[in-house]
Amino acid sequence: MPDLKITEDSERSLVLSALISHVYKCKSIINLHNETKDALKGNAIVLTAEKANVEMHEALTMIAKYFGVHLSNSKFYCLDCAPSEGAEHDRMTQAEFAWWNECSKCGNGAYYFVEPKL
pLDDT (tens digit per residue) in 56-69: 888 887 777 666 55
Nearest Cα to 104, choosing from 77, 70, 67, 71? 77
Q: How far apart are CA 67 and CA 95, in angstroms?
A: 9
Query: Is the entire prediction scored with pTM above 0.85?
Result: no
Which residues share a beta bridge with 76?
A: 113
Predicted confidence at residue 95, as pLDDT, reads: 44
pLDDT (tens digit per residue) in 16-54: 888 888 988 999 999 999 999 888 888 888 999 999 999
